[in-house]
């Protein structure tokens, strides 16, 4: 195998770690992803660096915490001056491609606003940093209104080849929408939710759209990935291909046969709201809203649903997941047809999880739980024996240094992640804890201000602290793996709480930007 392996990085959006056949899910079918686990190493304790899409993707690409790299929450861009591990791969001669959802820049119409609007800024120097003059509108809908495919500046965060997909499920935009318009005169009809097919599902955001399977975003990304891999057949240069699916993120819109591939009655809600012995304020408030029949008008707001509605969401999510798995199978066939399979590292991952029924919740939000913080991660390396699991802690911020070490490349100064390459080789992990930074961009039920949190995960406990709020959470992950009893105020947990507080302080110090030392102190 070459010292410079190809890398095929496949990522899903909002996908729980246990929602794979190889992870023990009893219903959802993912045979192609399961085969990757058979050929590689599946991590069982892989956590996000933040359970929010944009900042976690920023952490993946930079190897730096959101509080340091600048992409702290959704709605902010990754600063143009941020280096990524893709930049280093490209500089080393890799051909680089991003196919699908990037989400390193905002892709909606809502402008960013300051969280501290009550403060008065200096008229001439309103911000702490001078404007960098960069254009952060490359993923904005206005770029994709014409029939001519929008050309990205090269490189785009290290990528030379970009096929952009923005938003989620059936409402995706970007290059996908331009492609859809070129493929069908009925494209607007397919996307009109007033024109959906009849169904009897009651869960909010379940839409049975008329979009054919072959015109759904998952299929577009699949075909673009296959075409890119075919182009690599005669190339002597290694490639890095980031293939990013917007599913199984809500809304719940599996097309064609995937809509009714699963029966809601085949699923169980094994962690209902009543399982939590002392729910925190946001969880209790979500329950009140559900009992009052209130559903958020903002489709990105998490909510609590009835058992039947949760089971419906599970069935539709399973359909979206299996569609991705089918696409993965075809992509892998194209990789093999190009003659690159034996010299390619394959990664399967997700940017964050989904409550998917935990305490009757759906989506994600400012209530920390294993279902949103722990994600799938599989690493297939042709030089390593397959069929293994890695059970030590690892995190999204660790991906960049691991890829660079595996490729024999020196990282830039300031990477904060820790390589887990030793775990892939069968050794111990590099972490005793995972720090999860979690800053939301809006106020949620049960909380009177925009939540800013830090979660600390160890082998034995999970702790959450809230900025400016007199509350906290502490769970014993060994005795209570489902996190159903908050031990924050329990006298018998004083020692554990004190130990976790000390570890959290060390973790937060470790996450601070490191400055260079003066030469005479080196």
CATH at residue 405? 3.40.720.10
Say if 311 falls within a structural domain: yes
Q: Are 207 and 252 in contact (CB under 8 A)?
A: yes
What pLDDT, on the 0 to 100 scale, is given for residue 432? 97
pTM above 0.95, yes or no: yes
Model confidence pLDDT, tens digit, residues 462-492: 999 999 998 999 999 999 999 999 999 999 9
DSSP secondary structure letters along 217-232: HHHHHHHHHHHHHHHT
Q: Are 304 and 273 in contact (CB under 8 A)?
A: yes
Grouping H, G, I as helix, E, B as strand and the rest as coil, residue 291 is: helix
Place of tokens 């991705």: 324
Domain assignment of residue 45, given as a range:
6-109+138-431
Adjacency order of strands within the sheet including 41-43 = 173-174, 161-166, 95-100, 239-244, 6-12, 344-350, 377-380, 41-43, 388-390
Say if 346 falls within a structural domain: yes
Say if 123 falls within a structural domain: no
With a CB cutoff of 8 Å and minimum separation 6, the contacts of 388 are 40, 41, 42, 426
Q: Distance of CA 244 to CAs 73, 75, 330, 367, 455, Å?
A: 19, 19, 15, 26, 26
What pLDDT, on the 0 to 100 scale, is given for residue 115? 58
Total domain count, the chain = 1
Say if 354 falls within a structural domain: yes
Q: Distance of CA 100 to CAs 2, 12, 138, 247, Å?
A: 28, 10, 14, 11
Q: Are 202 and 308 in contact (CB under 8 A)?
A: yes
Place of tokens 């058992």: 307
Say if 114 falls within a structural domain: no
φ, ψ at 331 (rounded to 5°): -65, -40
Say if 224 falls within a structural domain: yes
Beta bridge partners of 465: 454, 472
* Nearest-angstrom CA–CA distance, 411 and 88: 8
Element (H, E) at 367: none
* Nearest-angstrom CA–CA distance, 393 and 11: 20
Nearest to 137 by CA among 106, 167, 164: 106
DSSP secondary structure letters along 177-195: HHHHHHH-TTHHHHH-GGG
Cis peptide before 72 (omega within 30 of 0): no
* Nearest-angstrom CA–CA distance, 225 and 63: 25
With a CB cutoff of 8 Å and minimum separation 6, the contacts of 94 are 4, 237, 238, 239, 240
Say if 500 falls within a structural domain: no
What pLDDT, on the 0 to 100 scale, is given for residue 114? 61
Looking at the chain, the number of H-run helices and the number of E-run strands are 13, 17
Say if 357 falls within a structural domain: yes
* Nearest-angstrom CA–CA distance, 510 and 522: 20
Token pair in block for residue 175: 């290059």
* Nearest-angstrom CA–CA distance, 177 and 165: 8
What pLDDT, on the 0 to 100 scale, is given for residue 109? 73
What pLDDT, on the 0 to 100 scale, is given for residue 45? 98
* Nearest-angstrom CA–CA distance, 29 and 516: 50
- Percent of the chain past pLDDT 70, that is, above it, reads 97
Tell me which residues of the chain have a pLDDT lower than 50.
1
What pLDDT, on the 0 to 100 scale, is given for residue 516? 77
- Category of 360 on φ-ψ map: left (φ > 0), alpha (ψ -120 to 50) or beta: left
């Amino acid at each position: 195998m070459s010292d410079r392996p190809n890398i095929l990085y496949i990522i899903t959006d909002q996908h729980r770690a246990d929602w794979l056949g190889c992870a023990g899910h009893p219903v959802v079918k993912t045979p192609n992803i399961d085969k990757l686990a058979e050929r590689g190493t599946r991590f069982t304790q892989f956590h996000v660096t933040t359970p929010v899409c944009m900042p976690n993707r920023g952490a993946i690409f930079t190897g730096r915490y959101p509080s340091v790299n600048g992409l702290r929450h959704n709605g902010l861009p990754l600063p143009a001056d941020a280096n990524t591990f893709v930049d280093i791969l490209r500089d080393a001669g890799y051909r680089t491609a991003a196919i699908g959802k990037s989400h390193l820049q905002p892709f909606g119409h809502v402008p960013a606003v300051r969280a501290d609007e009550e403060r008065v800024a200096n008229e001439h120097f309103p911000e702490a940093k001078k404007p960098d003059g960069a254009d952060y509108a490359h993923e904005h809908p206005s770029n994709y209104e014409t029939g001519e495919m929008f050309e990205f500046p090269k490189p785009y965060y290290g990528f030379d080849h970009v096929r952009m997909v923005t938003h989620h499920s059936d409402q995706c935009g970007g290059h996908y929408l331009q492609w859809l318009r070129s493929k069908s005169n009925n494209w607007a009809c397919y996307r009109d939710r007033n024109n959906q097919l009849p169904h009897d599902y009651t869960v909010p955001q379940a839409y049975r759209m008329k979009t054919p399977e072959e015109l759904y975003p998952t299929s577009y990304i699949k075909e673009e990935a296959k075409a890119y891999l075919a182009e690599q057949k005669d190339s002597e240069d290694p490639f890095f291909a980031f293939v990013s699916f917007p599913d199984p993120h809500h809304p719940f819109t599996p097309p064609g046969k995937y809509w009714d591939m699963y029966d809601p009655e085949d699923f169980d809600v094994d962690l209902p709201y009543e399982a939590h012995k002392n729910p925190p304020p946001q969880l209790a408030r979500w329950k009140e809203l559900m009992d009052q029949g209130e559903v958020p008008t903002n489709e990105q707001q998490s909510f609590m649903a009835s058992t039947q509605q949760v089971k419906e969401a599970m069935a539709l999510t399973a359909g979206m997941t299996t569609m991705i798995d089918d696409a993965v199978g075809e992509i892998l066939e194209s990789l093999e047809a190009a003659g690159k399979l034996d010299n390619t590292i394959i990664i399967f991952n997700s940017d964050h999880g989904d409550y998917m029924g935990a305490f009757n919740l759906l989506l994600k939000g400012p209530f920390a739980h294993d279902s949103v913080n722990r994600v799938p991660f599989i690493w297939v390396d042709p030089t390593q024996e397959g069929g293994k699991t890695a059970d030590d802690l690892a995190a999204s911020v660790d991906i960049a240094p691991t890829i660079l070490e595996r490729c024999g490349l020196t990282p830039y100064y300031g990477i904060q992640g820790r390589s887990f390459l030793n775990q892939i080789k069968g050794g111990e992990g590099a972490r005793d804890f995972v720090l999860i930074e979690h800053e939301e961009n809006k106020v949620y039920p049960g909380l009177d201000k925009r939540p800013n949190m830090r979660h600390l995960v160890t082998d034995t406990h999970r702790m959450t602290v809230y900025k400016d709020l007199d509350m906290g959470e502490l769970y014993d992950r060994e005795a209570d793996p489902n996190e159903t009893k908050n031990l924050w105020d329990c006298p018998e947990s004083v020692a554990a709480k004190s130990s976790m507080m000390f570890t959290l302080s060390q973790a937060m110090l470790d996450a601070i930007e490191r400055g260079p030392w003066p030469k005479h102190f080196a």
